[in-house]
């Protein structure tokens, strides 16, 4: 490619990005016959199709998560500063293994971890940027396992006392996968009941700890959730921590979704006791508007993180075991320099942009809750503590409410004006799960959503 063409190609991508940002209703229709519309084939020789045409086609046939009507997932709309950081990361294409090959990115990662810790308040800390919340939760459980039995790193889990991890019944499924991967066994993940406010029931936690001890197992870890995937509920950290301290358990907090709450005026209510826990998961690519995947693992026990994860590579990459070479205590060898994108967004906007956004989102959440409490034909499932608003449409005949809501959601998706997900509780009641994840979502868009739901109501 000649230079001019190359710059024009980058400009083409930016042009498409601009188009994504400016698209309105009707832009979220699911694909039909995608395999026929897009030439997927990889061939021996290069294609004759013009690069710009291919770029346009990729954008056209992908879900536009930049549209503020994409309210389906805990990921989506991103800040443009994060795109720029991502582009720089791709072009630099170095790895976070050693300071030698990523000096600036290493210092930026340390600055990010240190600045987050100012909100958390651990007296001593260490952390890593990791590929997502599931990965960070796994690191937390790995630290718990190591903390209880350092020998497990060397000898595995053979002929050991069974180790038990506790999470709430509404917690994310990643802990289940972690137990499988770490050789602890999914059977040894104990799900603790939640109360009507969707928080972990601490009486049940205490009973389950007692029970597993009586069964001869070794409880090792409680994972509290700050912002559950469906309800956005925050487990009580301080009281859970008191139980963990009494029982000698590692306390991990999965704040992948709820992490922006650390920057909120409601922090004391949502996160009381956070400075006492052992480790935390945060995801910048969720409510903090970074690009995927920017998980953070932060711990108040740096020595455990390092000892649990260190090993190997001394003959060719880690010539010494230096803390400045972050790769020595990361499980990845090649690791993107993701610090650049997070840091650039943060640097250009200041911490205040997180504080302002969470305040704005809470105002919008309040308005929606108020609206849902009065709007005929709608039922709010629970008072939200965060940006998940779960509600049902109520049929005006005797149709099954769950089936009606599944059908309504299917219709919303087919029409392509909005993407909003659905979920169920433990009694298999299905409902809409609206998440305010996109930073450009506002009252006008939610009013548009309600109009859309009213229309769908008439159609089914």
Question: Does residue 73 interact with ligand ABU by CB under 6 A?
Answer: yes
Q: Binders of ligand ABU among 202-261, rule CB under 6 A?
A: 229
Residue 67 C-beta: closest distance to ligand ABU, Å: 16
Whichever of 74 and 262 has its CB closer to ligand ABU, that residue is 74
Name the token pair of 217.
């197992």
Residue 454 C-beta: closest distance to ligand ABU, Å: 25
Residue 270 C-beta: closest distance to ligand ABU, Å: 18
414 vs 263: CA distance, rounded Å: 37
Choose the binding region for ligand ABU from 36-44, 67-75, 88-96, 318-326 (rule: CB under 6 A).
67-75
Whichever of 171 and 249 has its CB closer to ligand ABU, that residue is 171
Q: Binders of ligand ABU among 114-153, rule CB under 6 A?
A: 133
Of the candidates 198, 213, 211, 272, the one whose C-alpha atom is nearest the C-alpha of residue 242 is 272
Q: What angle do CA 125, 115, 338 make, to 5 degrees?
A: 90
Residue 443 C-beta: closest distance to ligand ABU, Å: 23
Name the token pair of 254.
């999965």
Whichever of 218 and 424 has its CB closer to ligand ABU, that residue is 424
Whichever of 179 and 230 has its CB closer to ligand ABU, that residue is 230
Residue 292 C-beta: closest distance to ligand ABU, Å: 10
Whichever of 85 and 133 has its CB closer to ligand ABU, that residue is 133
Query: x/- string (CB under 6 A) for ligand ABU, residues 156-185?
Result: ----------------x-------------
184 vs 144: CA distance, rounded Å: 11
Of the candidates 329, 324, 283, the one whose C-alpha atom is nearest the C-alpha of residue 116 is 283
CB count in 10 Å sphere of residue 359: 13
446 vs 436: CA distance, rounded Å: 10
Q: How remote is the C-alpha of 199 from its chain's centroid?
A: 19
Whichever of 417 and 437 has its CB closer to ligand ABU, that residue is 437
Query: Which residue from 71, 75, 260, 372 is in contact with ligand ABU, where contact means CB under 6 A?
Result: 75
Residue 189 C-beta: closest distance to ligand ABU, Å: 17
Query: Which residue from 74, 105, 128, 280 is in contact with ligand ABU, where contact means CB under 6 A?
Result: 74
290 vs 192: CA distance, rounded Å: 32
Choose the binding region for ligand ABU from 70-78, 149-157, 162-170, 322-330 (rule: CB under 6 A).
70-78
Question: Does residue 413 interact with ligand ABU by CB under 6 A?
Answer: no
Residue 26 C-beta: closest distance to ligand ABU, Å: 23
Contacts of 318 (CB under 8 A, 6+ apart): 97, 98, 325, 327, 328
Of the candidates 403, 432, 404, 429, the one whose C-alpha atom is nearest the C-alpha of residue 418 is 432
Choose the binding region for ligand ABU from 68-76, 81-89, 98-106, 188-196 (rule: CB under 6 A).
68-76
Q: CB nearest ligand ABU: which residue? A: 73
Question: Does residue 94 interact with ligand ABU by CB under 6 A?
Answer: no
Choose the binding region for ligand ABU from 8-16, 71-79, 122-130, 154-162 (rule: CB under 6 A).
71-79
Under a CB-based contact definition with an 8 Å cutoff, are residues 205 and 240 in contact?
yes
Half-sphere exposure of 88 (CA within 13 A, CB side): 18
Under a CB-based contact definition with an 8 Å cutoff, are residues 138 and 100 in contact?
no
CB count in 10 Å sphere of residue 45: 5
Handedness of CA 254, 258, 259, 261 (dihedral sign): negative
Whichever of 83 and 257 has its CB closer to ligand ABU, that residue is 257
| Extended beta strands in 171-285, E state | 189-192, 218-225, 250-255, 279-283
Under a CB-based contact definition with an 8 Å cutoff, are residues 288 and 148 in contact?
no
Question: Does residue 289 interact with ligand ABU by CB under 6 A?
Answer: no
Bridge partners of 73, per DSSP, are none
Give the footprint of ligand ABU on this chain (CB under 6 A).
73-75, 133, 172, 229
């Amino acid at each position: 490619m000649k230079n001019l063409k190359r710059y024009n190609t980058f400009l083409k991508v930016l042009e498409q990005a601009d188009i994504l940002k400016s698209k309105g209703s009707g832009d979220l229709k699911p694909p039909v016959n995608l395999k026929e519309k897009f030439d997927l084939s990889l061939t021996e020789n290069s294609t004759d199709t013009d690069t710009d045409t291919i770029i346009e086609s990729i954008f056209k046939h992908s879900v536009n998560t930049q549209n503020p009507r994409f309210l389906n997932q805990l990921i989506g709309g991103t800040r443009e500063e994060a795109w720029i950081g991502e582009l720089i990361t791709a072009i630099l294409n170095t790895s976070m293994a050693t300071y030698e090959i990523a000096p600036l990115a290493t210092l930026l990662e340390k600055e990010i971890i240190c600045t987050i810790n100012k909100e958390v308040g651990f007296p001593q800390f260490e952390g890593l940027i990791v590929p997502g919340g599931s990965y960070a939760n796994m690191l937390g459980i790995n630290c718990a396992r190591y903390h209880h039995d350092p020998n497990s790193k060397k000898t595995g889990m053979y002929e050991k006392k069974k180790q038990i991890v506790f999470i709430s019944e509404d917690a994310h499924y990643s802990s289940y996968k972690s137990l499988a991967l770490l050789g602890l066994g999914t059977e040894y993940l104990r799900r603790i009941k939640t109360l009507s406010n969707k928080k972990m029931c601490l009486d049940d936690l205490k009973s389950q700890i007692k029970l597993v001890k009586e069964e001869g197992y070794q409880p090792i870890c409680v994972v509290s959730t700050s912002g559950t995937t469906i309800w956005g509920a925050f487990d009580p950290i301080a009281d859970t921590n008191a139980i963990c301290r009494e029982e000698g358990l590692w306390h991990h907090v999965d704040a992948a979704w709820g992490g922006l709450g650390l920057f909120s005026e409601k922090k004391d209510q949502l996160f009381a006791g956070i400075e006492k826990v052992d480790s935390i998961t945060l995801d910048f690519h969720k409510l903090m508007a970074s690009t995927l995947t920017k998980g953070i693992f932060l711990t108040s026990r740096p020595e455990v993180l390092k000892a649990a994860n260190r090993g190997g590579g001394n003959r060719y990459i880690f010539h010494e075991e230096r803390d400045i070479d972050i790769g020595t205590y990361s499980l990845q060898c090649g690791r993107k320099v993701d610090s650049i994108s997070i840091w650039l967004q943060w640097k250009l906007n200041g911490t205040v942009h997180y504080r302002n956004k969470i305040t704005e989102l809470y105002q919008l959440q309040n308005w929606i809750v108020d609206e849902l409490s009065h709007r005929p034909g709608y039922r709010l499932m629970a008072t939200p503590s965060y940006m998940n608003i779960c509600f049902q449409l109520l049929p005006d005949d005797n149709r099954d409410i769950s089936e009606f809501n599944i059908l309504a959601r299917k219709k919303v998706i087919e029409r392509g004006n909005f993407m909003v997900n659905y979920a169920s509780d433990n009694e298999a009641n299905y409902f809409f799960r609206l998440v305010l994840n996109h930073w450009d979502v506002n009252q006008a868009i939610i009013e548009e959503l309600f109009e859309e739901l009213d229309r769908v109501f008439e159609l089914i």
